Chain A
Amino acid sequence: MNPIKKIELEQMRIDMPDFKAGDTVKVHMRIIEGEKERIQVFQGAVLRIHKGTTNATFTVRKVSDGVGVERIFPLHSPYIERVEVVSEGKVRRSRLYYLRKLKGKAARIKQKNAWG
């Protein structure tokens, strides 16, 4: 096997759930403050998934006190404790950048239901 691929496969996390752009996720981040370690949860809609091996990232957007906040997480980072999929969204695009211009009710994402 290509040695670089082998190194990357060792680094990749297989415990990540399968989620797509439009899904609402809770990202449990490990945060180290001095000696102590705690978990912070960042909940929002997945704006995009950037594919790759160890380079893969995903962007999560939430609106906090009326201010849009986006965070880009490395998908395979050991900083991420776990990712929880709260709900699946029904969207037609893989990059939901249009959400940045929308506010309030318009910025909602349709939920996926049992029949798709």
Chain B
Amino acid sequence: MANNLAILGRKLGMTRIFNSDGSAIPVTVIAAGPCPVMQVKEASKDGYNALQLGFDPIKEKHVTKPLKGHQDKAEKGYFRILREIRMEDVDGFEIGMEIRAEDFAPGDKVKVTGTSKGKGFQGVMKRWNFGGMPASHGHEKVHRSPGSVGNNTHPGKVFKGKRMAGQMGNKRVTTLNLEVVGVRAEDNLILVRGAIPGSKNGLVMVRKQGN
């Protein structure tokens, strides 16, 4: 299989398993696929190479007519989630083919993309790890404030990208260089060493990483 293959899944949670040498490994369990290929996009026709994958089956009555027509082509049922994955080349992939957990093997390096847990509107101390202001020595009502945000008449503005308070979390995050520890084909599970973004039951995309 291509070395930048990807699969869609749900984060189930974390646990620990014991290695053959007795050490404990923290793992995240991902219920991945099976994801049928719903559409193959080719550079000659669409301008780029990609596969559209389906994930999370739903009943026919919950699909809108336009989407039904699109998904009927693969004859694999109907899916809540359709996502495109960019490929270097799509030779050997056909509509209706399934990408499954066993396409990943222990030892593979993967990157996992998900939506991080939303933290709401947060101040600079939590959001950007600012130090805040002293608790005493004349400081009043400013203990968690950011302090100065710039200079004076020159430059006369606050620079773009200045780290300030605002929405934290609930955005797309990718964790790189995660190791696949185990694959359970019978339950469609992928076990990845360490933590991945998002909450339990969150949608994640597991992508193989090239060297």
Contact = CB atoms under 8 A, between A and B. Distances in A.
Interface of A: 3-4, 6-8, 11, 30, 32, 53-55, 74, 76-79
Contact of A3 (B17, B20, B189): B189
A68 B3 CA distance: 54
Interface of B: 12-13, 15-18, 20-22, 24, 29, 31, 184, 187, 189, 191
Nearest to B31: A3
B13 A7 contact: no
7 contacts: A3-B29, A4-B13, A11-B17, A32-B21, A54-B15, A54-B24, A74-B24
A55 B16 contact: yes
Chain B at the A interface: SS class: strand
Question: Which residue, of A11, A32, A53, has the highest number of chain B Cβ atoms within 10 A?
Answer: A11
B15 A7 contact: yes
Contacts of B13: 4
A4 B22 contact: no
B187 to A, nearest CB: 5
A87 B129 CA distance: 52
Contact of B15 (A30, A53, A78): A53
A58 to B, nearest CB: 15
10 cross-chain pairs, A with B, having the tightest CB-CB distances, nearest first: A79-B22, A78-B22, A54-B16, A3-B187, A11-B17, A4-B15, A4-B29, A4-B13, A78-B18, A8-B15
Nearest to A52: B16
B11 to A, nearest CB: 11
Nearest to A7: B15
Contacts of A6: 187
Contacts of B20: 78
A32 B187 CA distance: 35
A76 B22 contact: no
A3 B32 CA distance: 12
Given A77-B24, A78-B18, 13 more contacts: A3-B29, A3-B184, A3-B187, A4-B13, A4-B15, A6-B187, A11-B16, A11-B18, A54-B17, A54-B24, A76-B18, A77-B18, A78-B22
A12 to B, nearest CB: 10
